[in-house]
Structure 1
Amino acid sequence: MRRTLYNQDHEAFRQTLREFIANEVTPYYADWEQTGHPPRDFYLKLGELGVFGIEAPEEYGGAGETSVKYEAIVAEETARAAVTFGGSYVHPSLCLGYLLRYGTERQKREWLPSFISGEQMYAIAMTEPGTGSDLAGMQTTARLSPDGTHWILNGSKTFITGGVLADRVLVVCRTSPAPADNRRVGLSILNVDARSEGFAVGRKLEKLGLRAQDTGELSFTDVKVPVENLLGEEGQGFFYLGENLVRERLTIALTATATAAAAIGFAKDYTKQRTVFGKPVASFQNTKFVLAECATEVEALQAMADRAVELHDAGELTVADAAKVKLFATEVAGRVIDKCLQLHGGYGYMLEYPIARLYADTRVARIYGGTSEVMKSVIAKDLGL
C-alpha cells in the first residue's frame, strides 16, 4: 500500500542520509563491531549532517522541526543498510526531550549548542544492577552539600547505552527518602559531567547484538554535581521518566518496524540468487508463502506505526497507544526476522549476512524500554482490567 507519511523534504533528507551511510558507515561497520563503538569523531559528522539538532529550536542551532518523522527515516535507512549509529541514538531520541522539556533557559543555552554539534554526547542512566524495571527502587543517591552549592552523587548504573563514550550523563538518582506510601517521590535527574572526579566507566558490556553500540556500567563515588545541573524540579524525576516513555517506546517501535521491513528485502534478494536443486529458492511455494505472510504482517504493522507517528506529532499518542505499538512492532519483528533468517538456510547464521545481524540486534527490543510483559500490563490497565 502507498504510504502518505512523508513529503518531498523528508525524501530529500532520506537521500542525503542514504548517501551518508554508504560513505561513512557501511565501509567501516565491521571495524566498529569489533571495537564496540564508532570512532568518537563520527558523532561530529552526525552533528554536521544535522541529525542531532533536527528537533531542537532554531535559537539554539537546531532545525526547529517538531515531527518525529525524521527519526523514523533514520530508523528506516539504518535498517535498510543493516547498520546503526552506535550508541548515539539515545542522544537525540531520548536525552534531547529531557533537556527541552525540563531545562531552564540558561541550561538550554549552555548545553544545547554542543549537544547539537556532537561535541558533547549524552546518555541517560536509569537502570541499576539490582532494580531492572523497578525504577522506583533505585539506590543511587545524591545529597545536597552543607553549603548548598552542589550535590554529592553515589551509586552505580548498568546497561547504559552510549555510556562508554558519553561526555555528559543524565543520572536519575534519589535526592530525598521516599514516603512509605509512594516510592516514586524523591527521584531527581542530574546532568553529570563525565570528567568529574569520582565518575567512572566500568565494563563495556559484551552483548548478543548491537555490537557497534557501546553499552556500559557507570559508577559514582562522591561525585560533585553543581546545583545548577539539576534538571527540572527536585523529586519529580520519576514522573519525568513516565512522560518521556511514550517517545522512547515509539522510537523502539519505529526501529523494529524498519528492521522487519528490511529483513524481507534481504530475504527476497537472497532467495532469488540462491539456487537449490537447480532452481532459485524464491521459486519454491514455501518461500513465496512465507514471504507473502511476512509482507502482509509488516504492512499491517507499518500502518499502525505510521498512525502512531501522526498521533505523536499531534500530541495525542497515549501511554497505552505507545505500549500497543511497541508490543506489536517488536513481536512482529521477532517473528518476521526469524522466518527470513530461516529462508537463508545455514548462511542465515553467518554474521557476514545482514539477516544474522538483524536477528541478534532486534531481540533486545522486546526487553528494553519496558518488556513485552510490561507493555501487556499497561494495555490491560487501559482496558480497565
Structure 2
Amino acid sequence: MGRIKRFAGMLLFLLILAGSFGLAAIFNTTMIWAVWYAFVFVFLLCLGQLIWPLTSVAWRLRPVERPADTPFSLTGTVVNRRWWQWQPQWQAQDHTGWLAPVTLLGKRPAAISVQAQFSRGIYTSLRVPVRSQDLFGLLSKGRRVVVPADVTVYPAVPAALVRQLLPMLSALRARQRAGLVDPYSLQGYRQYIPGDPLGVVDWRVSARVGHTMIRELTPEPTPFVHVVFNANAQTFNEQEWALFFGLQRATRNWTNVWYWWPTQAGTWAHAHEVSTQIAAAYQAPAAAAVWTPGETPLRGATIVAIGAPLATSGQGTQIVQAAVGPDGRLTGSMIQRKEQQSS
C-alpha cells in the first residue's frame, strides 16, 4: 500500500511538473516559467537529499551498562554531518518497530531513544535499520547502518540463587573467623617510640632492661574462604558464571573472602570484585589449569567450588561444591550440608 501511495504521489508530481511546463510553453510568461523552475528545484532537492548516503548522519549514543537479556534504552542524538543536508522524515528501527519520524535540518541535533536487548558481551557497534523520506513522502530510501556504541552487558545475576547461597557463605566465613584463637604471633621486641600504642608495651621486659619495650606482633595467616569458579570451555555454564559474579557483588564489603577464576592464558585471576567489563567479556579457557592460590596460605581454609568439582591439596582445607543443575537450581555438597543442618 505504501509503494502504491508513493508511486501515485510521484506520478501526480510529474503530471504537475509536465503541466506547468506545458502552460509555460503555451503562454510563455515569466510567472509560469518561475513556477515551473520552482517545481524542478523542489524535485531535484528532494531527490538529492536521498541520493546522499544515510550514513552521513552522525550518532552520539551515551555509554551504558545493563544486565543481560533485559530491555533497556539507548539514548543519544543524531545530526547531519553537513550543514546543507535536510531529512524531514528520518526514522530508525528497533525490536519494538519504527520510531517516530524526526526532522534533521543541517547541523541541528535531534534526540533519539532506541530500545535494545542483548546477551552478555561488550558491543562497540550496532547495526540499525534506518530510512528517510522527502518532505512530501514521495521518495524513500532505507538501509542498515553501523552505529558506534559503547554498551557493556554484564551477566544477569540470578537473585534467587544468590539469596540461597549467601547465608551459607556467611556461615562459612563466621566459622572461619571463630576458629582463629590467636590472630597474632610474637615477632620480637623493640624500644618504645613516642606515639606507639600503650597496649603493646611489655612491662616485664621493660623493667628487666631498664627502658620501655614494646612487642612487635605479626598477624597469623587468617583462614580464608576461597570461592573458585572452576570451568573450561566444555563445562562452562552461563548461570554459574552469573552466580559467581552476583556473589562478588553481594560480598564486596566482606573481608577474608577471595574469588578466583581461570583466564585464557591458563592462569588464575584474583580480585575482590570482578568488574562489569571482565564479567561481560569473559570467555572460559579451553582447559582450566589446576587451581593454586599462589603464596596465599591454605591452612584451615574453606574452598567453595562453583562449577566442576575441584581437587586441591592443603593443610586442613575443606572443599565444598556448589553448581547449577539443568533445572536452574543449586546442587552440590554445600547444598546437601545445609539441608542436613536444617533437618
Instruction: Name the TM-score class by shorter chain.
Output: under 0.3
Higher strand proportion, which one?
2
Q: Whose radius of gyration is greater, 1 or 2? A: 2
Q: TM-score normalised to the size of structure 2?
A: 0.22
Q: TM-score normalised to the size of structure 1?
A: 0.20
- Larger RCO, structure (CA 8 Å, separation 6 or more): 1
